[in-house]
Amino acid sequence: MILFWHRRDRRTTDNRGLAAAVDADEGPVVPVYIFDPAVTEQMGERKRAFVECTVDALRRRYHELGRELVVRTGPAADVLTDLSDQYDVDRIVSNDCTDAARQAQTDAVEAALEVPLESHVDSVLVDPASLEPSYPTYSQFAADWKTHTKAPPASEPTPDALADITDTESIPTTATDIELPAAGYDAASDRLESFCASGIAHYRETRDDLARAVAEPTQAVSRLSPYLAVGAIGIREVWQRVIDVLETVDGAERRNVEKYADELTWREHNYHLLSYTPTLETENYDDPPNEIAWRTDADDFAAWKRGETGYPLVDAGMRQLEREGYIHNRPRQVVASFLTKHLLIDWRRGAAHFRERLVDHDPAVNAGNWQWIASTGTDSVDVRIFDPVAQLAKYDADATFVREYVPELADPSIPAERIVEWPTLSSERRQHLAPEYPAPIVDRNGAYERAQRVFERALGKRN
């Protein structure tokens, strides 16, 4: 008998490891999910709660198939050893995981088991082992990645391929302070279909339109990131659906769809980085010749986390994070740049805060994107700094997004152009317009120039 161990792949459809276990035709497959404290304690409570809801949806899907998902809580090595004896298992099949917590979990399981542990590549379209170990830039990665064949989605197993067993252990429940997205494969599939039916055809044109993100949050962008992060839907299914749309459009619509496909390629790039760089979550990927002079100002970091920096787009992004467990991609980049450049606070502190608060936290994506923003990753620009004032003027000139998340600036009598210019206004003007909203915690130009100096010194370009 084969035991299939669900890990980050919390679905029955387009699950390569599960399909391989069934295709082996070595008897019925016993599916199991383990809440291992060594992994779950690395998650923020919001992500953990969403994972629990997703596992509950997975168990319901097995029930619809007339079968059962075995659920256990405890160290995976102990649980799998016990289940191997209970079901007289010949081998255990799972899918690869590249983050540090799950790598340590894999090592512990392999050391404890007396039966083989077989792993499959499931979370990416192209196996990192088939690519070069490193690429100087994302563009060079993408050029090589695009030459590789992408496997089609794997089929869901039929009931007769699964063991007819019973299990009554309950799924843990974590209380959370936000409303979570609908969980499970069906919700993810509905989200994908809705986006592909309308939003994707305008994606390139509207992805950074923050006013539209407020008015039509599920059309301006896909909002698939929470589902991909917990493995509620397979990346091959998403890719195949995008390619299906791509084959039906041309001109501007085709460029829009291609842009979304490019974003999925960025995801692949981050997974490739983590696969070959196990320390990506904790160490600079590209260390400069000299140490970066990070600041450790506790008050500045606390103001950033609260969304009280006096920079409206930064504060709106951080308050969206606190309200929803999600940040739109444009302000997500701006808040990360502001922390690492204008405040000169180590990217690892920001990444850890995101891990605690994001529903869609993904170890590879979080670490890869933070390092790219912090100029310690694979960016082709030596020192990239997002100007939060210019970014607001370009992407939310009417301050629609800001007013949605920063109530101190929601009064319609405050002109949008004043909100855009807020960090450059006199203190008297700011006090008159919105006395409850904080003054800027750093000078816009001074902080920009300081970041340039610090990073140029780190790069050896300035004494």
CATH code for position 107? 3.40.50.620
Q: Which residues contact 412 (CB under 8 A, 6 or more apart)?
A: none
Q: Which residues contact 380 (CB under 8 A, 6 or more apart)?
A: 136, 137, 138, 139
Rounded mean pLDDT of 369-373?
A: 97
pLDDT digits (tens, 9 = 90+) for 37-68: 999 999 999 999 999 999 999 999 999 999 99
Same domain, 52 and 107: yes
pLDDT at 218: 86
pLDDT at 250: 96
| Nearest to 315, CA basis, from 218, 439, 447, 448 | 439
Helix (H) or strand (E) holding 238, with range, is helix 235-246
Assess if residue 189 is contained within a domain.
yes
Residue 411: CATH number of its domain? 1.10.579.10
Q: Is 362 annotated as a binding residue?
A: yes
Burial group, residue 29, by CB count within 10 angstroms (0-12, 13-18, 19+): buried
Q: Is 203 annotated as a binding residue?
A: yes
Q: Is 99 annotated as a binding residue?
A: no
Assess if residue 406 is contained within a domain.
yes
Listed residues 104, 122, 140: the one ending a domain: 122
pLDDT digits (tens, 9 = 90+) for 212-238: 999 999 888 999 999 999 999 999 999
Helix (H) or strand (E) holding 117, with range, is strand 117-120
Backbone φ and ψ for 12, nearest 5 degrees, come out as: -100, -25
pLDDT at 219: 87
- pLDDT tops 80 at residue 463: no
Q: Is 71:103 a contact under the CB 8 Å cutoff?
A: no
Same domain, 323 and 206: no
The structural domain count of the chain equals: 3
Same domain, 307 and 449: yes
Could you tell me the residue range of the domain that residue 241 belongs to?
Answer: 185-276
Q: Is 391:330 a contact under the CB 8 Å cutoff?
A: yes
pLDDT at 380: 83
pLDDT at 392: 98
- The rounded distance, in Å, linking the Cα atoms of 406 and 313 is 9
Strand duo 91-95 + 117-120: pairing: parallel
Q: Is 260 annotated as a binding residue?
A: yes
Q: Is 144 annotated as a binding residue?
A: no
pLDDT digits (tens, 9 = 90+) for 274-325: 999 999 999 999 999 999 999 999 999 999 999 999 999 999 999 999 999 9
- The rounded distance, in Å, linking the Cα atoms of 149 and 151 is 6
- pLDDT tops 80 at residue 173: yes
Same domain, 323 and 424: yes
Strand duo 91-95 + 70-73: pairing: unpaired
Assess if residue 144 is contained within a domain.
no
pTM: 0.97
pLDDT at 99: 95
| Nearest to 220, CA basis, from 239, 242, 238, 200 | 200
Rounded mean pLDDT of 133-152?
A: 96
Same domain, 199 and 58: no
